[in-house]
Amino acid sequence: MRLSRYFLPVLKETPAEAQIVSHRLMLRAGMIKQQSAGIYSWLPLGYKVLRNIERIVHEEQIRAGHIPMLMPTLQSADLWKKSGRYDAYGPEMLRIRDRHDRDMLYGPTNEEMITEIVANYVTSYKALPLTLYHIQWKFRDEVRPRFGVMRGREFLMKDGYNFDVSKEEALHAYNRHLVSYLRTYERMGLQAIPMRADSGPIGGDDTHEFLVLADTGESEVFYDSEVTDLTFGDREIDYDDKAACQAVMDEFTGRYARTDETHDEALFNEIPEERKRVARGIEVGQIFYFGTKYSESFGAMVQNEAGERVPLHMGSHGIGVSRLLGAIIEASHDDNGIIWPEGVTPFHCGIVNLKQGDAEADAACEGLYAALEAEGLEPLYDDRNERAGGKFATMDLIGLPWRITVGPRGLKNGVVELTSRKTGESEEMSPEAAVARVAEIYAPHRSVNAGI
Ligand code: P5A
């Protein structure tokens, strides 16, 4: 993309309404525009990152054997009356009446709808295990929408639902989700710690939230500092292997790590003093096991191996896709702007031309642009007729992890400069070497499957 032809409405001023750094930076970098309280338009740069996050979520869900689909945003109130949640959900639910006076609502979550779908089609244990998911907009009429996309009213969620013949199988699905979520967040450059939590209006006893530690987080959390040493890394895991998934669950949830709702002072005090931590976190996901709560309301039954009709055991599993942009920025920025992790960056590499209009500099930039594209990468070329300082400030603000700077002086010696946004370190090298280096850096971040 050439910046002169892009739509990147960066702001010079710091918007007064934004209280936290991620919200400020998303507005300043021209990523989002508020349309009403807690409702945003996703401008091109923000939309690109949102799409990258979605792609990683899809790839990891598909890797875990879960199946993508798409349900509507608007739902019939009848579904919710069946489960008893129509009244229970309260003022957070946006209720709508259509022209035939039918009660509708903008879905805050999809347990009812998916259970009704599965009850319609699945009759035998042979169709199981089954996990269906979608990435769809949700609406929750939050009392205090704030912090930009972090607590929106309209927000994008990945929500998945598992259907199993027994509690044991459903707990395997729960573990599988935990493993796939660990991988998902790490690919986005985030450490998200699973912590025992409260299930709220979704229901059930088993639930973990995934929290990214940040001072601006809305949840108070209590943990043993040893949990922050755990990383999933690039280990291979067979998602059908129950023992292997359980081992990861035990490893990542075996130490004390809880949200304030489930905090137990006595247990916490058993941790050696120097390892006790009280901090704040951003909830970027949550997994639930709630048994037969919804399947019983919707008659979602199957015949088991013994020929008996049994209700399906279910759980649901959510990732805050749009909230993740805020969480990633909270975890990765400096005074000059955003620092995108390579896994989600909107463009792989910036190209800054120090002397637009200089025949050699222009040609070198065009050459780099074509060579990066030939490597399957997406460069953002700042080809505007602007001062170098302004170009650097824009690149720093929008946070591309790598920048290649091209100027007549370097070109005389056959070199350009490759700069890391994170460390600020620069290295001179030939244009070919710079392209090769950038391609090598992104090699581990390529799509793993495209079968969405
Ligand atoms: C699990 C999937 C559920 O709704 N039903 C389907 C279950 N869980 S949840 O914890 O309530 O939401 C899942 C994730 O969505 C994000 N989230 C939000 N993001 C932005 N703005 C909001 N108002 C908002 N509310 C929830 C969180 O990341 C949460 O973990």
Question: Which of 54, 157, 185, 314 to mutate for ligand 1's pocket (most ligand atoms within 8 Å of CB)?
Answer: 157
User: Could you tell me if the CB of 57 is within 6 A of ligand 1?
Assistant: no
Calculate how far, in angstroms, residue 173's C-alpha sits from the geometric centre of ligand 1: 19
The pLDDT value recorded for residue 201 is 81
User: Could you tell me if the CB of 283 is within 6 A of ligand 1?
Assistant: yes
Calculate how far, in angstroms, residue 285's C-alpha sits from the geometric centre of ligand 1: 7
The pLDDT value recorded for residue 452 is 61
User: Could you tell me if the CB of 148 is within 6 A of ligand 1?
Assistant: no
pLDDT digits (tens, 9 = 90+) for 359-407: 999 999 999 999 999 999 999 999 999 999 999 999 999 999 999 999 9
pLDDT at 289 over 80: yes
User: What global pTM score does this model have?
Assistant: 0.97
Calculate how far, in angstroms, residue 384's C-alpha sits from the geometric centre of ligand 1: 41
Mean pLDDT of the chain: 96
Contact present, 135 and 54 (Cβ < 8 Å):
yes
Contact present, 426 and 403 (Cβ < 8 Å):
no
pLDDT at 448 over 80: no
The pLDDT value recorded for residue 213 is 97
Q: CB neighbours of 312 closer than 8 A, spacing ≥ 6?
A: 115, 118, 122, 128, 163, 164, 165, 292, 295, 300, 301, 302
The pLDDT value recorded for residue 31 is 98
pLDDT at 193 over 70: yes
CA geometry: angle at 221 spanning 248 and 210, to 5°? 40
pLDDT at 106 over 70: yes
Tell me the mean pLDDT in the region 162-186: 98
More confident residue, 449 or 322: 322
User: Could you tell me if the CB of 323 is within 6 A of ligand 1?
Assistant: yes
Tell me the mean pLDDT in the region 185-204: 92
The pLDDT value recorded for residue 450 is 55
pLDDT at 17 over 90: no
Tell me the mean pLDDT in the region 5-13: 96
Ligand 1 atom 25 nearest Cα: 151
Ligand 1 atom 24 nearest Cα: 151
Calculate how far, in angstroms, residue 158's C-alpha sits from the geometric centre of ligand 1: 9
Tell me the mean pLDDT in the region 309-333: 98
Report the percentage of the chain scoring pLDDT > 70. 99
Band of pLDDT at residue 215, cut at 50, 70 and 90: very high
pLDDT at 449 over 70: no
Tell me the mean pLDDT in the region 101-120: 98
Question: Which of 22, 323, 324 to mutate for ligand 1's pocket (most ligand atoms within 8 Å of CB)?
Answer: 323
User: Could you tell me if the CB of 134 is within 6 A of ligand 1?
Assistant: no
Tell me the mean pLDDT in the region 107-119: 98
Ligand 1 atom 30 nearest Cα: 285
The pLDDT value recorded for residue 194 is 98
The pLDDT value recorded for residue 451 is 60
The pLDDT value recorded for residue 15 is 87
User: Could you tell me if the CB of 139 is within 6 A of ligand 1?
Assistant: no
- Atom of ligand 1 minimally distant from the CA of 110: 6
pLDDT digits (tens, 9 = 90+) for 397-446: 999 999 999 999 999 999 999 999 999 999 999 999 999 999 999 999 98
Tell me the mean pLDDT in the region 227-239: 96
The pLDDT value recorded for residue 200 is 83
Calculate how far, in angstroms, residue 287's C-alpha sits from the geometric centre of ligand 1: 10
